[in-house]
């Protein structure tokens, strides 16, 4: 799965994500994949924070579940760039989110493994 395919699948899972994607392109004149993946997290968190992202209605719980399923598939089937974008711009640091408790039940096994690996990472020196 390429990064473009990931974004297409995310939009299919939650059509309102297309408005987030379009706002991103309007702001940056292109898709900056790592930034858009981090904006996806803010969009999802808007369900719990009450703060709209790009003035787009927050996804409902079924849509959040579908988004996490797409992200899990991206971690499993994505090319290196796609996996990196999800791991670095979505998963890394998510445990520090004020909404981690609400988000955690949506994690699939690969996302759990990715987060655990990040939490247990130690520098080589």
Give me the domain span that covers residue 60.
Answer: 3-119
Looking up tokens 């640091």 gives: 93
pTM here is: 0.93
Flag whether 80 is in a domain: yes
Residue 30 host element (H or E): none
Residue 79 forms part of a structural domain: yes
Domain count, the chain: 1
**DSSP secondary structure string, 54-121?**
TTBPPP-HHHHHHHHHHHHHHHHH--HHHHHHHIIIIITTGGGSTTHHHHGGG--HHHHHHHHHHHT-
pLDDT at position 125 is 75
Name the helix (H) or strand (E) containing 34: helix 33-49
Give pLDDT, residue 91: 97
In a domain, 93, yes or no: yes
**Tens place of pLDDT for every residue, the chain, 125 residues?**
999 999 999 999 999 999 999 999 999 999 999 999 999 999 999 999 999 988 899 999 999 999 999 999 999 999 999 999 999 999 998 999 999 999 999 999 999 999 999 988 777 77
User: Is 124 contained in some domain?
Assistant: no
Q: Whose structure tokens read 């791991």?
A: 87
Gap between the Cα atoms of 100 and 94, Å rounded: 6
Report if residue 48 sits inside a domain: yes
User: Does a structural domain hold residue 113?
Assistant: yes
User: Residue 92 falls within a domain, yes or no?
Assistant: yes
């Amino acid at each position: 799965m390429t990064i473009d395919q990931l974004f297409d699948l995310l939009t299919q899972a939650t059509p309102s994500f297309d408005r987030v994607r379009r706002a991103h392109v309007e702001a940056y004149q292109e898709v900056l994949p790592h930034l858009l993946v981090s904006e996806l997290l803010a969009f999802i968190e808007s369900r719990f924070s009450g703060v709209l992202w790009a003035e787009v209605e927050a996804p409902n719980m079924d849509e959040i579940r579908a988004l996490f399923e797409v992200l899990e598939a991206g971690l499993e089937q994505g090319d290196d760039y796609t996996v990196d974008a999800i791991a670095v711009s979505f998963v890394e640091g998510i445990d520090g989110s004020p909404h981690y408790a609400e988000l955690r039940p949506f994690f699939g096994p690969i996302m759990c493994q990715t987060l655990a690996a990040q939490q247990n990472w130690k520098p080589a020196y």
